[in-house]
């Protein structure tokens, strides 16, 4: 449920983000945000693994991230009102409102990713190894449903439907997102049963945007394209996993590795087809078709990580972990006595000398790191490509963003080649 809510929140705001950024340097915002997100999320996941809270290892961070999501969405929707409440001069109010909106987007981007990463960690923590592929496939489906719901809501004329929720489309979007997100978060936290852990040792390990009619129409076309993209992602994420082999000995060629390689090649083909797009209908079709490789990217990498973590768990002993499950006997002892027997120095030395177990949250943190780093590279490279295209053409070229897509298609070919060298984990549908 919470996977749905995180994706509802993201597309609702993505469809309107440019309204708050049109007065500032977009590329600088993206670049700085990726740097912050890169460092903070990796630390967030490592702290996840060390958590010994009585309410669970992931639940505290889901709740903290959820609170930040709601606060940041409110700050984005009401940035002008907040600024005018404390300042009187109009010019000053405008500048402060921009700052509030930018900071809100910083916090929103980080906190959404943090909540989603904690949810993914739950999938690794709770289901057994043989259910990892199924669990991650269902998580992908939930993400696609969230995308559909979010972009469909952004496509609607909310001012006509819910005038009592606010006086602008963006405010109503944020309120709807907060309500859905909060309800889903509460549902997840109340129904998912986490193990309680205790510490084992102390190891630290191109029309003018000033034209309101054009801008509104463009925004709704964009939301509709993303809605199609979300539907295709959902359908692909629901159908494609059913074609995978059901046993390691199966001769079925549709293995997760082959599907993953094909998804990269498909992405490259779609990205290069931007050279033939000349109207709105073709653009919508192009954006929608990206849903197929996206659905695969939301399934197979996490399934592989889950399978790998499960296999490592089978090979490691409980004494190698930084934290271990707290049993019923441990709880009874803790309730009768507050004194804990200290670990001897010789035992601690032995523990330090043993090979450290791979923790689910830490591996997801590393995985997320290799998701964020390419985003940083892409944001920098996109700025260079757009500038080069505009300098060569002598004007602001409409095809500048098309060249960014084509560059991404070239990188997808490299990714397809590299995908053939992944370790074979014998992932199959059970």
DSSP secondary structure of 122-146: HHHHSS-GGGHHHHHHHHHHHHHHH
Query: With the C-alpha atoms ordered 207, 208, 210, 215, is the resulting torsion angle positive or negative?
Result: positive
Place of tokens 């098309």: 402
Q: What is residue 412's predicted lDDT score, i.e. its pLDDT? A: 95
pTM: 0.61
Q: What is residue 43's predicted lDDT score, i.e. its pLDDT? A: 63
426 part of a folded domain: no
345 part of a folded domain: no
Q: What is the mean pLDDT of residues 90-96?
A: 75
Q: What is the DSSP letter of 279?
A: S
Q: What is the mean pLDDT of residues 212-232?
A: 79
pLDDT bin (cut points 50, 70, 90) of residue 88 is low
Tokens at 268, concatenated: 């490259």
Whether pLDDT at 261 is above 90: yes
Higher pLDDT, 89 or 134: 134
Q: What is the mean pLDDT of residues 28-47?
A: 56
Q: What is residue 352's predicted lDDT score, i.e. its pLDDT? A: 43
Mean pLDDT taken over the chain = 76
Which phi and psi (to 5°) does residue 224 adopt? -65, -40
In whole angstroms, what is the distance from residue 195 CA to residue 342 CA? 23
Note down the domain range covering 69. Answer: 2-196+210-328+351-419
Q: What is residue 233's predicted lDDT score, i.e. its pLDDT? A: 92
pLDDT digits (tens, 9 = 90+) for 6-30: 555 655 555 545 444 444 444 444 4
Asked if residue 220 lies in contact with residue 155, where contact means CB atoms within 8 angstroms, the answer is yes
In whole angstroms, what is the distance from residue 363 CA to residue 366 CA? 5
Higher pLDDT, 234 or 375: 234
335 part of a folded domain: no
Whether pLDDT at 198 is above 90: no
337 part of a folded domain: no
Q: What is the mean pLDDT of residues 179-200?
A: 82
Window from 22-26, 191-195, 309-313, 416-420 with minimum mean pLDDT: 22-26
pLDDT bin (cut points 50, 70, 90) of residue 232 is very high
Q: What is the mean pLDDT of residues 365-382?
A: 81
Q: What is residue 413's predicted lDDT score, i.e. its pLDDT? A: 96
Q: What is residue 163's predicted lDDT score, i.e. its pLDDT? A: 86
> CATH number, domain at 22?
1.20.1250.20
pLDDT digits (tens, 9 = 90+) for 330-360: 545 544 544 444 444 444 444 444 444 456 6
Q: What is residue 417's predicted lDDT score, i.e. its pLDDT? A: 95
Task: Tell me the residue length of the chain.
Answer: 430
pLDDT digits (tens, 9 = 90+) for 235-250: 999 999 988 888 777 7
pLDDT bin (cut points 50, 70, 90) of residue 428 is low
Q: What is residue 11's predicted lDDT score, i.e. its pLDDT? A: 55
Whether pLDDT at 209 is above 70: no
% residues pLDDT > 70 (the chain): 71
Is 368 buried (19+), middle (13-18) or exposed (0-12) by CB count in 10 A?
buried
% residues pLDDT > 90 (the chain): 14
Q: What is the mean pLDDT of residues 297-326?
A: 71
Q: What is residue 272's predicted lDDT score, i.e. its pLDDT? A: 95
340 part of a folded domain: no
State the CB neighbour count (10 A cutoff) for residue 6: 27
Q: What is the mean pLDDT of residues 286-313?
A: 86
Domain count for the chain, please give it: 1
Q: What is residue 334's predicted lDDT score, i.e. its pLDDT? A: 47
Q: What is residue 59's predicted lDDT score, i.e. its pLDDT? A: 87
Whether pLDDT at 393 is above 70: yes
205 part of a folded domain: no
Q: At what angle do helices 59-77 and 79-86 cross, to 10 degrees?
A: 70
Q: What is the mean pLDDT of residues 408-418?
A: 94
Window from 200-204, 260-264, 336-340, 351-355 with minimum mean pLDDT: 351-355
Whether pLDDT at 296 is above 90: yes
- If you average pLDDT over each of 63-72, 302-311, 313-322, which comes out highest? 63-72
115 part of a folded domain: yes
Higher pLDDT, 409 or 106: 409
In whole angstroms, what is the distance from residue 157 CA to residue 8 CA? 17
204 part of a folded domain: no
């Amino acid at each position: 449920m919470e996977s749905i809510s995180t994706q509802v929140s993201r597309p609702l705001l993505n469809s309107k983000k440019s309204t708050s950024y049109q007065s500032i340097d977009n590329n600088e915002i993206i670049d700085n945000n990726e740097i912050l997100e890169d460092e903070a999320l990796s630390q967030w996941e490592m702290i996840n693994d060390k958590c010994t809270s009585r309410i669970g290892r992931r639940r505290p961070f889901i709740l903290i991230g959820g609170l930040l999501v709601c606060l940041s969405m409110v700050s984005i929707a009401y940035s002008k009102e907040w600024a005018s409440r404390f300042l009187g001069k109009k010019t000053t109010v405008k500048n402060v409102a921009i700052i509030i909106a930018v900071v809100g987007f910083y916090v929103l981007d980080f906190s959404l990713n943090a909540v989603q990463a904690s949810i993914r960690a739950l999938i690794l923590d709770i289901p057994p190894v043989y259910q990892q592929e199924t669990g991650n496939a269902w998580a992908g489906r939930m993400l696609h449903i969230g995308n559909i719901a979010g972009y469909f809501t952004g496509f609607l004329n909310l001012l006509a439907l819910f005038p009592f929720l606010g006086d602008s489309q963006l405010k109503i979007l944020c309120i709807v997102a907060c309500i859905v997100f909060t309800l889903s978060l509460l549902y997840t936290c109340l129904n998912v049963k986490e193990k309680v852990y205790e510490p084992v040792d102390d190891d630290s390990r191109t029309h003018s945007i000033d034209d309101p009619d054009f801008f509104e129409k463009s925004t709704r076309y964009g939301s509709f394209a993303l809605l199609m993209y979300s539907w295709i992602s959902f359908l692909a994420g629901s159908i494609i996993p059913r074609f995978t082999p059901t046993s390691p000995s199966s001769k079925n060629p549709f293995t997760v590795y082959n599907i993953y390689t094909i998804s990269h090649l498909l992405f490259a083909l779609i990205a290069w087809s931007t050279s033939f797009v000349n109207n709105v209908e073709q653009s919508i079709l192009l954006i929608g078709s990206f849903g197929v490789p996206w659905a695969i990217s939301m399934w197979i990498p996490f399934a592989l990580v889950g399978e790998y973590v499960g296999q490592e768990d089978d090979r490691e002993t409980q004494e190698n972990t930084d934290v271990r499950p707290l049993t019923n006997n441990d709880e009874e002892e803790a309730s009768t006595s507050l004194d804990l027997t200290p670990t001897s120095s010789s035992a601690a030395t032995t523990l330090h000398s043993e090979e450290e177990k791979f923790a689910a949250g830490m591996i997801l943190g590393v995985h997320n790191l290799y998701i964020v780093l390419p985003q940083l590279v892409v944001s920098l490279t996109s700025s260079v490509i757009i500038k080069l295209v505009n300098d060569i053409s002598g004007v602001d070229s409409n095809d500048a963003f098309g060249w960014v897509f084509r560059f991404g298609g070239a990188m997808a070919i490299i990714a397809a080649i590299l995908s053939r060298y992944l370790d074979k984990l014998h992932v199959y549908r059970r």
